[in-house]
């Protein structure tokens, strides 16, 4: 909800000719804290109690959402206030993500991990469907400020859920890393010395960098498809809707996919192709279908990438592996939003999205050809 609301909010705070650059700026202010904080966040996830880290990070995000609600409903909001709070939210999420993604694999056995990853994706993507849709309805019928109010309330539920957990496995001190620069460097060395992990992260980065159409959705909704806030909510949810349905399917079939590397590469190629189709579309339901298919392809790729990385990483390195990965899978979309905004400002939103989709396909094919080990990766 918050992500969709911030993009729509920013589009209303700037003159018509500055929309593309302002929306691209959201990606820029988010990517800086990701780059600055990610390695330290991974060390923290491996050094401290991960549930406590999650309690702290989500408490901080509760305060940020509350601040957004107060300044928006109070009528004192401006572009730089939204940018600043978006940056703080990205910083909190940077610490949250390694702790979250290294926490849940410890709750299941190794054999259950592929299905656990699929189920975890279902939960996340279901929220990603409902959030933007609900945000669009609230924006259309009330105001953006109430989106931030509901978002703040959601963190109360999350914090209560963490507090309600019982019998959480505790890691012995011998499996916890020290909070040092050496520990952070060990994480970098681990990732880049493993070709499968490294190439899967590069695949994630280039695909999301080139094919990041999300930042321009307000422009497509307002100026190309002419569907307003309600249509914007549906478009924002379309990608996640495709991801949810696909993740349900992946729970059943992930263990049956033998040529995991080949399927991973092909899913990323499809992601780029449907992004091109979205950029060329002028019909709302065709645009919705393209975004839906992009979410489906991305979910196949996401599950397989996560299975490869989690199975190849020992528990005492998971937080740092996730933090390095975070620079790729969070940095790619945020830098991609900036790139999309700059290209759209110079050449128009259609040219931005279409060229991004072409760049995605070329980058994915290049990575596949350069890393035969990934292309040939099989279940066994």
Question: Which residue's structure tokens are 């572009």?
Answer: 79
Q: Quote the DSSP letter at residue 178.
A: P
Tokens encoding 84: 């600043």
The pLDDT, as a whole number, for residue 21 is 79
CA of 248: how far to CAs of 77, 234, 269, 315, in Å? 40, 20, 21, 26
The pLDDT, as a whole number, for residue 58 is 93
Q: 2-165+194-375 — its CATH code?
A: 1.20.1250.20
Question: Which residue's structure tokens are 């996730």?
Answer: 322
Cβ contacts of residue 125 below 8 Å, gap of 6+?
240, 243, 244, 247, 295, 299
User: In the structure, what pLDDT confidence band is assigned to residue 59 with cuts at 50, 70 and 90?
Assistant: very high
The pLDDT, as a whole number, for residue 370 is 84
Tokens encoding 351: 């040219």
CB-CB contact of 98 with 322 (8 Å): yes
Q: Can you tell me the distance from the alpha carbon of 248 to that of 122, in angstroms, rounded to the nearest whole number?
A: 7
Check pLDDT > 60 for residue 350: yes
Q: Can you tell me the distance from the alpha carbon of 249 to that of 247, in angstroms, rounded to the nearest whole number?
A: 5
Q: Can you tell me the distance from the alpha carbon of 154 to that of 86, in angstroms, rounded to the nearest whole number?
A: 17
CB-CB contact of 3 with 61 (8 Å): no
Alpha helices, DSSP H, located in the chain: 2-12, 19-47, 50-73, 79-103, 113-141, 144-164, 181-192, 195-210, 217-219, 228-253, 260-280, 284-311, 318-329, 331-347, 349-370, 372-375
Q: Each residue of 305-323: b (16+ CB within 10 Å) or e?
A: bbbbbbeebeebbbbbbbb
Tokens encoding 354: 């279409």
CA-based max dimension of the chain? 58
The pLDDT, as a whole number, for residue 185 is 75
Rounded to 5°, the CA angle 323-270-313 comes to 25
pLDDT in tens, 116-131: 877 777 787 777 777 8
CA of 68: how far to CAs of 72, 79, 81, in Å? 6, 12, 8
Cβ contacts of residue 37 below 8 Å, gap of 6+?
91, 94, 95
Check pLDDT > 60 for residue 176: no
Q: Can you tell me the distance from the alpha carbon of 73 to that of 201, in angstroms, rounded to the nearest whole number?
A: 40
Question: Which residue's structure tokens are 């991960």?
Answer: 50
pLDDT in tens, 240-282: 788 888 878 887 787 778 888 888 889 989 999 999 999 898 8
Check pLDDT > 70 for residue 213: no
User: In the structure, what pLDDT confidence band is assigned to residue 288 with cuts at 50, 70 and 90?
Assistant: very high
Q: Can you tell me the distance from the alpha carbon of 209 to that of 36, in angstroms, rounded to the nearest whole number?
A: 19
Q: Can you tell me the distance from the alpha carbon of 129 to that of 358, in angstroms, rounded to the nearest whole number?
A: 26
The pLDDT, as a whole number, for residue 270 is 92
User: In the structure, what pLDDT confidence band is assigned to residue 177 with cuts at 50, 70 and 90?
Assistant: low
Q: Please state the separation of Cα 379 from the chain's center in Å.
A: 26
Listed by start position, the domains of the chain span 2-165+194-375
Q: Can you tell me the distance from the alpha carbon of 266 to that of 361, in angstroms, rounded to the nearest whole number?
A: 10
Range from 93-97, 155-159, 212-216 carrying the lowest mean pLDDT? 212-216
């Amino acid at each position: 909800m918050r992500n969709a609301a911030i993009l729509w909010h920013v589009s209303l705070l700037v003159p018509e000719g500055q929309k593309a650059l302002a929306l691209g700026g959201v990606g820029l202010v988010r990517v800086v804290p990701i780059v600055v904080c990610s390695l330290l966040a991974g060390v923290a996830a491996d050094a401290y109690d991960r549930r406590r880290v999650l309690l702290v990070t989500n408490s901080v995000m509760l305060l940020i959402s509350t601040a957004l609600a107060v300044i928006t409903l109070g009528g004192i909001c401006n572009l730089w206030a939204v940018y600043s709070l978006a940056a703080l939210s990205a910083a909190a999420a940077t610490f949250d993500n390694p702790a979250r993604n290294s926490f849940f694999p410890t709750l299941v056995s190794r054999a259950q991990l592929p299905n656990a990853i699929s189920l975890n994706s279902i939960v996340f993507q279901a929220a990603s469907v409902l959030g933007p849709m609900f945000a669009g309805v609230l924006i259309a019928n009330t105001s953006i400020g109430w989106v931030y109010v509901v978002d703040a309330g959601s963190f109360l539920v999350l914090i209560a859920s963490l507090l309600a957990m019982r019998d959480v496995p505790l890691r012995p001190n011998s499996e916890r890393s020290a909070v040092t620069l050496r520990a952070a460097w060990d994480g970098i060395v681990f990732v880049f010395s493993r070709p499968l992990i490294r190439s899967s992260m590069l695949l994630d980065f280039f695909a999301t960098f080139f094919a990041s159409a999300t930042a321009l959705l307000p422009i497509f909704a307002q100026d190309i498809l002419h569907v307003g806030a309600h249509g914007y909510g549906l478009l924002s949810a379309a990608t996640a809707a495709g991801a949810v349905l696909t993740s349900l399917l992946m729970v059943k079939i992930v263990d049956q996919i033998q040529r995991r590397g080949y399927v991973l590469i092909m899913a990323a190629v499809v992601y780029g192709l449907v992004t091109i189709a979205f950029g060329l579309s002028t019909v709302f339901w065709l645009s919705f279908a393209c975004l839906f298919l992009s979410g489906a392809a991305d979910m196949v790729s996401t599950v397989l990438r996560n299975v490869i990385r989690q199975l190849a990483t020992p528990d005492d390195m998971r937080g740092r592996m996730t933090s390095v990965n975070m620079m790729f899978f969070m940095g790619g979309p945020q830098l991609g939003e900036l790139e999309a905004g700059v290209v759209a400002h110079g050449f128009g939103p259609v040219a931005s999205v279409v060229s991004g989709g072409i760049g995605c396909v070329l980058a994915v094919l290049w990575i596949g050809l350069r890393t035969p080990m990934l292309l040939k990766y099989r279940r066994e």
